[in-house]
Amino acid sequence: MCHSLLQDPAFFRFLSRIDAELAAEARRGRCPHCAGPLHVADYPRKPRGCPAAVRAEYAWRLSFTCGRCETRTTPASVRFLGRRVYVALALMLASPPRGFTARAVCDRLAVSARTLARWRTWWRQALPATPFWRKARGRFLPPVASDDLPEGLWARFGGPTCAERMAQILVFFSPLGSSAMGA
Ligand SMILES: [Zn+2]
């Protein structure tokens, strides 16, 4: 189920373009505190889980600081889930799809079983406690149970291809790491 996207630089670049649009939109909104102008203040990240071809562009998180009060504004992102080191796409694909073992998923994603276990804890315990999820979960009827994350989300988003469905899910999660959500 869609694991090939992890080896697809074109999909990663597509996500970068979405992030650039989200950043442009945030910048037009000006500083949420004093309505001052926002200046580019991207900060470095050490991305994991992305193809080597896009590592340089994934090494920066788009962000701004206010020219008047210096408050940082970090826009939504489809590339990163909050402060998680691995790219959002890797975390989305973290749970074993039907017919796969956890070991097969570790091999495909090149992560350790321990990392995979940490991701599950994040999905099922840390994420449900965030203001983002408490607000966003209401969109799903019937609700998506915490124990069913992230795979329970798959059926809730449409799209003829893996790439389209995944892009929609990543857009849904994009506010998670924004300063508007307290990150
Ligand atoms: Zn300001």
For the chain, the C-alpha Rg in angstroms (whole number) is 17
In-domain check, residue 59 = yes
**Per-residue pLDDT tens over the stretch 90-135:** 888 876 655 667 777 778 777 888 888 888 899 999 999 999 999 9
**Per-residue pLDDT tens over the stretch 128-181:** 999 999 999 999 999 999 988 988 888 898 888 889 999 999 999 999 989 888
Tokens coding 154: 């798959």
Numbers of helices and strands, H then E, in the chain: 6, 5
φ, ψ for residue 98, nearest 5 deg? -50, 130
Percent of the chain with pLDDT over 90: 61
* 1 has a pLDDT exceeding 60: no
In-domain check, residue 135 = no
Domain count, the chain: 1
Tokens coding 161: 């291809």
179 and 74 in contact (C-beta within 8 Å)? yes
Q: What is the 20 CA–ligand 1 centroid distance (Å)?
A: 21
φ, ψ for residue 141, nearest 5 deg? -135, 120
Q: What is the 129 CA–ligand 1 centroid distance (Å)?
A: 29
Q: What is the 66 CA–ligand 1 centroid distance (Å)?
A: 5
- Distance between CA 110 and CA 115 in Å, rounded? 10
- Distance between CA 147 and CA 82 in Å, rounded? 20
Q: What is the 73 CA–ligand 1 centroid distance (Å)?
A: 9
Full domain range(s) for residue 94: 3-130+140-181
